Amino acid sequence: MGFLSFCKKVPYLLLLVITTAILFPYFAVTTGAFEQFKKDYGYLWQGVQPLHGTILTTVPVNLTLEPVVSEPEVSQPTFKPVEEAYFANTLFIGDSRTQGLSLYGGFDSSDFFCDVGLTIWTLFEDSVEMNGSHTTLESVLQAEKYDHIYLMLGINELGRGTTSSFAKQYEDVLQKIRYLQPNAVIVIQSILHVTPEAEAKSSYIKNATINQRNQAIAALENGKDIFYLDVNAALDGPDGTLREDITSDGVHIKASSIGEWEKFLRANGIEAVDEEPVRKQFGPYKEKEDSMELHLLKSVQF
């Protein structure tokens, strides 16, 4: 029987032979290409199996990373030289060191609430002579509206409490000042250092303690309307203590040297900014119901 005769009798067999001969190279090529694709793009091929007999194919994906957009940084205000008008509506608060500034600093247009022995603990309790009569700080803050309020307190407090309790009381004072003067810029001046000689004479007045407390009150700055100003930068020597040549007792600034403090303040004025605070922000002031019990170690007031 010839081949053609056989195919006529078995037509389906012929069709199978022809189909196989045509499709075999195609399957060989596509299978090899598919295996090569899995090799090249294995990170995209995760063993996807055909569903219900359907052949699934995977195509490469052009992956692009979206740029990360960071939030804009809040602009930080800088201290800058200011004119006399800056201090025309300014209140200085402090102890005997600030008294020296009031007498010899040349801030004739500013108000001063200061007295020997004034502390952060009794600031709103003590009565101080101001403009010929005695008054309290609360009365002053209620009667006047200040653009700037400068504080320097802390030398008398070195014998009381701890750095933590001192900073907490300072925060409470700032909170009340802010409540009474919502629009004023508050400047926390650093506690001035003392000389090594004055440090050696005292059991509790130590520059190391002053540094700790300065660091604590510096953290109360919020970058918006409460700022910390390191006055020690202008009055210290290379050793980081109060310069001997500008003090007569190792603690207070001499009248003839107060000008250095004044010059520093005039070169470092600050204004409020519109951005949101970047550090601590205080809520409404609330009167404390319980007073903190303190251990009193100091015997000298400044």
Residue type, 153: L
pLDDT tens digit sequence for 46-70: 444 444 444 444 445 454 545 555 5
The pLDDT assigned to 15 comes to 57
Which tokens belong to 56?
């699934």
Rounded Cα–Cα distance for residues 160 and 183 (Å): 32
Q: What is the pLDDT of residue 293?
A: 38
- The reported pLDDT for the residue numbered 272 is 80
**Domain range list for the chain:** 3-40, 84-267
Question: Is the predicted pLDDT of residue 245 greater than 90, yes or no?
Answer: yes
Model confidence band, residue 213 (pLDDT cutoffs 50, 70, 90): very high
Query: Residue 287: pLDDT above 50?
Result: no
Give the per-residue pLDDT at 270.
93
Return the minimum-mean-pLDDT range out of 11-20, 72-81, 94-103, 157-166. 11-20
Average pLDDT in the 146-171 region? 97
Between the alpha carbon of residue 212 and those of residues 162, 164, 208, 224, the distances in Å are 10, 10, 6, 24
The mean pLDDT of the chain is 81
Pairing of strands 148-152, 185-189: parallel
Mean pLDDT calculated for residue range 121-135: 95
More confident call, 38 vs 169: 169
Work out the percent of the chain whose per-residue pLDDT is above 70: 66
Which residue has better confidence, 284 or 191?
A: 191
User: In this model, does residue 14 exceed pLDDT 60?
Assistant: no
Q: Which residue has the tokens 């440090």?
A: 199
Q: Is the pLDDT of residue 296 over 50?
A: no
Segment 250-274 shows an average pLDDT of 94
The hierarchical CATH code for the domain 84-267 is 3.40.50.1110
Q: Where are the beta strands (DSSP E) in the chain?
A: 90-94, 111-114, 127-130, 133-136, 148-152, 185-189, 226-229
State how far the Cα of 172 lies from the Cα of 180, in Å rounded to an integer. Answer: 13
